[in-house]
Structures are given as structure tokens and as C-alpha cells.
């Protein structure tokens, strides 16, 4: 019951786009998708494969989980790139300010920049 309540809460929080197209389209070709369907329909001979069939209902969960993880990693990379750019801009600003303070004084030595 708790899982069902949480699923309902999550469903309410989904955006309209996620409700219509919740996942990225498959990157598999039509032939590959047919092969996957055939393999899934076959009866499993190994014990682990039989147990996995019991958890096929969790496929949507794993799709959403993987999508969220991919987005999280993408955001982390973007944040790191922005932090690097911020450091570069800070260094340039410090150089500019150092040059501006020196130019206000009468320099005894040549300008460092």
C-alpha cells in the first residue's frame, strides 16, 4: 500500500511531457527489438532468468531511475564546467584589477601585464 501511495504521488508530480512520453525512445533498431521480444517470450532454462521474469514489472522503475541518474550526471558535468569557467573569469578579473590599481599609481617599474 505504501508503494502504491508513493507511485500515485510521483504520478501527480510528473510533468505533462513525462506523462505523454515518459522515456527516451529506444536506440535499438526494429530487428533488434524483435530479437529482444523473442528472447523475453522464451521460457527461461536458468534459475536466475526465471526469477528475473518475476521482476519484469519493475522495468518502468529502472527506466525512470536510469533516466534520473543520466540527468544527474549531465547536470554534474555542466556544473563542473561552469565552476571551471567561473575560476577562469575570476583569474582574469584579478589580473584586470591588479593592472587597474597599478596604473593609478605612478609605476616605478614597467607594468606587469
Determine, yes or no, domain membership for 111: no
Can you tell me the mean pLDDT for 8-30? 69
- pLDDT confidence tier of residue 91, bands split at 50, 70 and 90: very high
Q: Which domain holds residue 58?
A: 13-103
Answer whether residue 105 shows pLDDT above 70. Answer: no
Quick one: pLDDT at residue 20? 62
- Would you say residue 35 lies in a domain? yes
Number of domains in the chain: 1
Task: Please give the pLDDT value at position 80.
Answer: 97
Mean pLDDT, range 106-111, rounded to an integer: 56
4 in a structural domain = no
Q: Is the pLDDT of residue 49 over 90?
A: no
Top mean-pLDDT range of 39-43, 87-91, 105-109: 87-91
Closest by CA position to 68, among listed 9, 22, 16, 4: 22
Does residue 49 form part of some domain? yes
Q: Is residue 72 part of a domain?
A: yes
Q: Is residue 1 part of a domain?
A: no
Residue 94 lies in a domain: yes
Contacting residues for 22 by C-beta, under 8 A, at least 6 apart: 14, 60, 63, 64
Residue 5 lies in a domain: no
Instruction: For residues 113 and 34, give the distance between their C-alpha atoms in angstroms, rounded to a whole number.
Output: 66
Amino acid at each position: 500500500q505504501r508503494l502504491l501511495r508513493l507511485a500515485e504521488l510521483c504520478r501527480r508530480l510528473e510533468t505533462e511531457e513525462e506523462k505523454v512520453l515518459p522515456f527516451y525512445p529506444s536506440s535499438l533498431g526494429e530487428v533488434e527489438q524483435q530479437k529482444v521480444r523473442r528472447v523475453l517470450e522464451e521460457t527461461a532454462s536458468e534459475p536466475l532468468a526465471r526469477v528475473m521474469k518475476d521482476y519484469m514489472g519493475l522495468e518502468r522503475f529502472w527506466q525512470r531511475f536510469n533516466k534520473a541518474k543520466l540527468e544527474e550526471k549531465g547536470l554534474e558535468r555542466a556544473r563542473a564546467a561552469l565552476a571551471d569557467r567561473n575560476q577562469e573569469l575570476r583569474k582574469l578579473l584579478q589580473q584586470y584589477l591588479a593592472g587597474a590599481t597599478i596604473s593609478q599609481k605612478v609605476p616605478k617599474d614597467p607594468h606587469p601585464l
